[in-house]
Structures are given as C-alpha cells and as structure tokens.
C-alpha cells in the first residue's frame, strides 16, 4: 500500500472509495471534499467516488463492486481513500486490498491531508 504525501503523488486517473456507514453527513461531506481537494492540488482526475452508506445484506457491497467494475473498464492508476479503515475490518480489508491489486490498481491513502484539517465544531449536547 502507498501512502500519498506531498513527496510522492500519483499521476493520472484515480477512483475514490468511501465507507460511510453511520457517519454524520457533515463528516462524510468533509471526507469527500478532502479527496476532491487532494486530486485537484496534485493534478489527478478523480473519475468517480464509490460510496458505501449501508451495510450489505448479502454478498459484496454494491459500491465496492462498482469500484471494481470502474477499475476494470478504465485505466485507473489507483484507488484513493482517506485511510485504510475505509476498506473495512482487517479480514475484509485484506481481501479488498487483494482484489484492487489483482485488478491492476494501487491503493493510495490521503491520511496526512486529513490530519491537518480543523476538527468539526460540535453543538452543545451533541
């Protein structure tokens, strides 16, 4: 896995993946903006962002399957996401990592960019 940083940025087309089950809308929007911002600053074309919002009832998650389909039909150099936790729990993450690599794409994480963002303001009592 590659951690995207100011020193080593990919070039070309990337696809985003967000796993947002149970996440507040404000935080989810912030993660999406972080992907857009990073790609813009580094000259990447963000072809799509596949977003998982509900737990799959059976089999593969719909958004992850869509991600694999996009990788298969486009020349995508990588899949970009905020952190490895978006791939799911450890066993699921390992399997998904392998599927992404088998499809010919790299994994990129924008962790360093997200750490620099100011925390979201909270209302009292929330």
Lowest mean pLDDT among 35-44, 56-65, 92-101: 56-65
In this prediction, residues 40-48 reach a mean pLDDT of 89
CATH top-level class of 2-115: alpha beta
Contacts of 95-103 with CB under 8 Å at 24 or more apart are 96/64, 97/1, 99/68, 100/67, 100/68, 100/71, 103/68, 103/71, 103/72
Residue partners of 10: CB distance under 8 A and separation at least 6: 2, 4, 42, 44, 77, 78, 80, 106, 108
Contact 20, 51 (CB under 8 A): yes
Instruction: Give the global pTM.
Output: 0.76
In this prediction, residues 47-72 reach a mean pLDDT of 85
Q: Is it the case that residue 18 has pLDDT exceeding 90?
A: yes
Locate the domains of the chain by residue range.
Answer: 2-115
Beta-carbon count within 10 A of 48 CB: 15
Give the pLDDT confidence of 70-88 residue by residue, as tens digits: 998 888 889 999 999 899 8
* Of 123 and 21, more confident: 21
User: What is the chain's mean pLDDT, rounded?
Assistant: 80
Place of tokens 């599927």: 99
Percentage of residues in the chain with pLDDT exceeding 90? 46
CA 87/CA 85 separation, integer angstroms = 5
Q: pLDDT-derived band of residue 10, with 50, 70 and 90 as boundaries? A: low
Task: Catalogue the E-assigned strands of the chain.
Answer: 2-3, 12-19, 44-52, 78-81, 106-109
């Amino acid at each position: 896995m590659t951690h995207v940083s100011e020193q080593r940025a990919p070039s070309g087309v990337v696809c985003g993946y967000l796993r947002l089950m149970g996440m507040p809308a404000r935080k989810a929007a912030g993660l999406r903006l972080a992907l857009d911002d990073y790609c813009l600053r580094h000259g990447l074309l963000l072809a799509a962002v596949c977003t998982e919002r509900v737990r799959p009832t059976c089999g593969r998650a719909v958004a992850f399957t869509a991600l694999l389909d996009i990788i298969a039909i486009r020349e995508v150099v990588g899949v970009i996401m905020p952190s490895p936790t978006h791939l799911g729990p450890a066993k699921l993450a390992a399997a998904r990592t392998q599927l992404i690599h088998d499809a010919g794409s790299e994994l990129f994480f924008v962790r360093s960019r997200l750490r620099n963002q100011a925390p979201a303001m909270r209302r009292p009592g929330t």
